Chains A and B, each alone.
Chain A
Amino acid sequence: MLTFLCRRLMISGVLLFLISIVSFFIITLTPGSPYPWGELNPKITPQVKEAFRKKFHLDRPLIEQYWLNMRDLFSGSLKSIKDDRPVLQRIGERLPATVSLNVLAIFLSLSFGLLLGVYAAKNAGKLPDVLTSILAFVFIALPGFWISNLIVIGLVKFTNAPLLGTQTYGINFPDGLTLWLDRFWHIALPAMVLSIGGVAAQSRFIRASMIETLREDYIRTALAKGLAQETVFYKHALRNSVRPLITGIGGLLPGLIGGSIIIETIFAYPGLGRLGYEAVLERDYPTLVALNFIVAALVLLGNLISDVLYAVVDPRVRLE
């Protein structure tokens, strides 16, 4: 177990290094400048420009810039071009909101995906199966920005319910419980919209996995023992089918965080996605570099967690 963790951490380190290089060069090699003012603004003297370039190491060669960026990132002194605050602090403020949103979305994707997938597999080849599979593709094909806009505007127009941000502002909550309920209400809708694609993908996955498992020899053995169909289905087949699902959990994160950009923007939800979008608009290079790095680290962490979970479910896997 320990050796497994060590090896995985080492591989993750190498991957993170690759990732940092890729993201740094994608961001810095593209044309355009990161000045917070217009390129041709006459009021900015060359001296000011020079000072700015010096401050953000833009006068150095690229390799050195990369090194300085990484050094500053790890020492926490990497500052945002936009508001001069440490990048890590900006990200830290937004991280909990995004993590809770994504964890909830993963939970929703897995649980509803599992329900739909198992239902489809039980009725394989029959009408309910065809309908759920069409439903899954409907979910995948729904443009997230479109459906969330419709939901937001529809709810605002017809119910006037508060749903933007992480909680309702301007009112005093009588007690903690109401505050948490209010927060839950604010996170529930974006998480649901965010998980739509995941539900669909997971249900397809589970269905395929389930149908394949049902063809296994040990299913026949279980039936030959005289076990009830339900027992065979839910005990013998299901547990074998969810194994691949678990390894997929880590892989869900990149898509979800990508989706968060749009969902967070529409629901005015202060998470990393919106921070990233703002950083793109402002060409805030340090924030972009740091954000890519931290999100990738999150994804790697997710992968590691799902691998450990996998070993828990499957006795054949020993973490070495």
Chain B
Amino acid sequence: MTTPNLLEVRKLSIRFRTDGGFADAVNNVSFSLKEGASLAIVGESGSGKSVTALSLTRLLPEPPAEIVHGDIVFRGEQVLEMDLERLRAIRGGGIAYIFQEPSSSLNPVYSIRSQIAEAIRLHRPEVKDVDSEIVQCLAAVGILKPEQRMRDYPHQLSGGMQQRAMIAMALSCRPALLVADEPTTALDVTIQAQILNELKRVRTQFGMALILITHNIAIIGGLCDQLAVMFRGEIVEYGDTGSVLQNPQHPYTKALISCVPRLGSKEKRLKTIEYDWLQEA
């Protein structure tokens, strides 16, 4: 309780304006993160996890999105009260993102080098040799022959390589917090494991905090100390990863955990979530 939190989200509510009225996306969500800590936000699609992640630096298009109430405090500063100038310094420099679809998240008409260089020049103007910095970042995420690869355009890289480049781009700004929004969903299973390993490695190497957004509860083990389960816009369970997984309280969490297939289990069918039953619970 001595060190102040790096990030603190309190009672955040977000809704989307539609013509029929408002659709609530996030409801009274609160969580916090210390320097270098890691948190997984797990939930199904539409549960509001991505919306929460994007709202941290106000990347949601407003309108239609609308932050109804709540606080987002990053390094003691109120994000929701920042002007665009300050916000831009936080984006990338304080909180960096990697997204789900690496193939469409990189601009097709610029080389990897120019896209990373853009970030470095913006957030670390003191760096003299931008190229060698880019090479270092690419090497840190396990890209071989970074001097050559950085001249490539996104379409010349495979999906796994593209996602590595995205991580390198995030690292290049030396953020205090990395938000990985479904970073492996669009990738092959073997590549998934590699990317998760890279994430784990660079996190310790660069001492970053991490928020991992995923719908796959199976991938968070060993990567995140804390776990928040989101369901229909609310955090229904929040705590240390180990204790939540071992002793889930909320029926949705239990259902989620029971859906993960286990090696050697004797069940004939994979479990699915029974929503009708959840509704009553």
- Do chains A and B directly touch (beta carbons under 8 Å) in the complex? yes
- Smallest CB–CB gap between B195 and chain A, Å? 17
Q: What 1/0 mask marks residues of chain B from 151 to 167 whose CB sits below 8 Å from any chain A CB?
A: 00101000000000010
Task: Please give, as numbers and ranges, the residues of chain A lying within 8 Å of B153 by CB-CB distance.
Answer: 315-316
Q: Give Cα distance in the complex from A221 to B91, angstroms.
A: 10
- Interface segment out of the listed A37-45, A71-79, A225-233, A257-265: A225-233
Which residues 221-268 of A sit at the B interface, judged by CB distance below 8 A? 221-229, 236, 239-240, 243
Stretch at the interface among A23-31, A82-90, A107-115, A212-220: A212-220
Tell me if A221 and B107 are in contact (CB < 8 A).
yes
Residues of chain B lying within 8 A (CB to CB) of residue A220: 54, 59, 99, 105
Whether A236 lies near B107 (C-beta < 8 A) is: yes
Instruction: Verify A227–B88 contact, CB threshold 8 A.
Output: yes
Interface residue A181 (Cβ < 8 Å from any Cβ of B): no
Chain A contacts of B123 at CB under 8 A? 226
Assess A240 versus B109: contact at CB under 8 Å? Given A221-B97, A226-B123, A316-B153. yes
> Cα distance A227–B106 when bound, in Å?
14
Interface presence of A93 (CB below 8 A): no
Contact A217 B101 (CB under 8 A): yes
Known A-B contacts A227-B122, A314-B109; the reply to A216 vs B92 at CB < 8 A is: no
Instruction: Tell me, yes or no, whether B79 is within 8 Å of chain A by CB.
Output: no
In whole Å, how far is A218's beta carbon from the nearest beta carbon of chain B?
Answer: 4
Within 8 A of A (CB), among B136-192: 153, 155, 166, 169, 173
Q: Which residues of A contact B91 (CB under 8 A)?
A: 223-226
**Contact call A228/B88, Cβ cutoff below 8 A:** yes
Choose among B54, B84, B90, B104 the residue that contacts A218 (Cβ–Cβ < 8 A): B104
A120 to B166, CA, bound (A): 32
Q: Is A51 part of the contact surface with B, judged by Cβ < 8 Å?
A: no
Determine if A309 is an interface residue (Cβ-Cβ < 8 Å).
Answer: no
Contact at A217–B99, with CB atoms within 8 Å?
yes
Q: Is A280 an interface residue (CB 8 A)?
A: no
Assembly CA distance A225 to B59 (angstroms): 11
Interface pair A224/B96, CB less than 8 Å apart: yes
| Chain A residues, CB < 8 A from B219 | none
**Given A220-B59, A221-B97, A224-B59, are A314 and B108 neighbors across the interface (CB < 8 Å)?**
yes
Q: Mark B104-118, 1 if CB is under 8 A from A, else 0.
A: 111111110000001
- When distances are taken between beta carbons in the complex, the residues of chain B under 8 Å from A226 are 88-93, 119, 122-123, 173
Q: Is B57 an interface residue (CB 8 A)?
A: yes
* With A217-B104, A221-B99, A227-B88 as contacts: A239 and B59 at CB distance below 8 Å: no
Q: Mark B42-66, 1 if CB is under 8 A from A, else 0.
A: 0000000000001001010000000
Q: Which residues of B contact A228 (CB under 8 A)?
A: 88
Q: Which residues of B contact A313 (CB under 8 A)?
A: 109
B212, chain A: closest CB distance, angstroms: 16
- Contact: A225 with B101, CB < 8 Å? no
Contacts of A223 in B (CB 8 A): 59, 91
Interface hits, A304-320 → B, CB 8 Å: 313-316
Residues of chain A contacted by B118 (CB below 8 angstroms): 225, 227
Choose among A224, A236, A314 the residue that contacts B97 (Cβ–Cβ < 8 A).
A224
- Find the B residue at minimum CB distance from A229: B84
Interchain CA distance A316-B154 in the complex, whole Å = 9
Taken together as a complex, chains A and B put the C-alpha atoms of A316 and B88 apart, in Å, by: 30
Task: Please give the distance in Å from B97's CB to the nearest CB on chain A.
Answer: 4
**Chain B residues, Cβ within 8 Å of A218:** 104-108
Instruction: Please list the residues of chain B having a beta carbon within 8 angstroms of any beta carbon in chain A.
Output: 54, 57, 59, 84, 88-93, 96-97, 99, 101, 104-111, 118-119, 122-123, 153, 155, 166, 169, 173
A residues within 8 Å of B by Cβ? 216-218, 220-229, 236, 239-240, 243, 313-316
Chain A to chain B: the 7 pairs with minimum beta-carbon distance, closest first: A226-B92, A226-B91, A217-B104, A218-B107, A225-B92, A224-B97, A315-B153
